[in-house]
Amino acid sequence: MLTGISPLLSPELLMIIAEMGHGDELVIGDGNFPAAAMAQRLVRADGHRVKPLLEAILQLFPLDRFVEKPVGLMAVVPGDRTVPTIWEEYRSVVQQLQPERIAGGFEMVERFAFYERTKEAYAVVATGETELYANIILKKGVVDPAAK
């Protein structure tokens, strides 16, 4: 155990986010997401929901400041009437922890384009999230000592 670091972050996930470089992407998938089929590196976070993991990750993980939208969400498939309320929770988390990174809003990524980006992502975190369209992409930025 470590102090000051969420117990939701496993040693494996901590290692992965630490070794990621600027521009690398981390995908957090909901319980329906085909994470194992697409991941180059898969981290299991079964039983955990995305929002608390997102909060824990963004405490340590700087979002990319050189792109307009460093956070991407899987867009609702045309014709599907689902209204993902979890997106507002994500917006609240990013607004609270890294408000300067949400000015451009979230990138909405079509389902199959999201899958293709996932195949190229540095790692994928598979969760037990039950909300639909709860998948999210985080683009890592740089740790800027001058910004602290």
Q: What's the farthest any 2 CA atoms get from each other in the chain?
A: 47
Q: Look at the alpha carbons of 91, 127, 41, 97 in this order and tell me if their dihedral is positive or negative.
A: positive
Distance of alpha carbon 96 from alpha carbon 129, whole angstroms? 21
Active-site residue set:
22
* Amino acid in position 138: L
Distance of alpha carbon 27 from alpha carbon 71, whole angstroms? 10
Please provide residue 70's backbone torsions phi and psi, each rounded to the nearest 5 degrees.
Answer: -80, 0
